[in-house]
């Protein structure tokens, strides 16, 4: 498959694999549910390292900062978390999810 035909999820998972091979401590955030006008589809990924570097997207940029912060905690604690963002949630407005939809994101440590 050519790079032009690869899906973003495959690119992010490839990045995760490469970062693990470099010895980085990682978390993977995955959109597991959406409702309404969600910015990314179910199955979209964001990979985050312990320093807060990330690649991919779970929200088109509107909640990535909050997900990255949670992911760094997940890397340290080792326990997965389920995050939910939507317009009815004050946090969602603060981080920018104003598209009218809701997303549920699972964050888990890799490696």
**Can you give the pLDDT at residue 82?**
98
Helix (H, G, I), strand (E, B) or coil at 88: coil
pLDDT digits (tens, 9 = 90+) for 27-48: 999 999 998 877 788 999 999 9
Helix (H, G, I), strand (E, B) or coil at 58: coil
- In this predicted structure, the answer to whether residue 62 has a pLDDT above a threshold of 50 is yes
**Can you give the pLDDT at residue 109?**
98
**Can you give the pLDDT at residue 92?**
47
- In this predicted structure, the answer to whether residue 18 has a pLDDT above a threshold of 50 is yes
- In this predicted structure, the answer to whether residue 91 has a pLDDT above a threshold of 80 is no
For 28, counting Cβ atoms within 10 Å of its Cβ (0-12 exposed, 13-18 middle, 19+ buried), the class is buried
The answer to whether the beta carbons of residues 67 and 80 sit under 8 Å apart is no
């Amino acid at each position: 498959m050519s790079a032009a035909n690869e899906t973003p999820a495959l690119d992010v998972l490839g990045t995760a694999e490469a970062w693990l091979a470099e010895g980085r401590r990682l978390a993977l955030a995955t959109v597991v549910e959406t409702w309404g006008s969600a910015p990314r589809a179910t199955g979209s990924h964001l990979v985050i390292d312990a320093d807060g570097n990330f690649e991919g997207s779970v929200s088109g940029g509107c909640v990535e900062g909050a997900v990255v912060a949670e992911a760094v905690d997940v890397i340290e604690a080792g326990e997965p978390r389920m995050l939910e963002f939507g317009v009815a949630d004050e946090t969602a407005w603060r981080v920018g999810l104003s598209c009218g939809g809701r997303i549920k994101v699972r964050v888990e440590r890799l490696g």
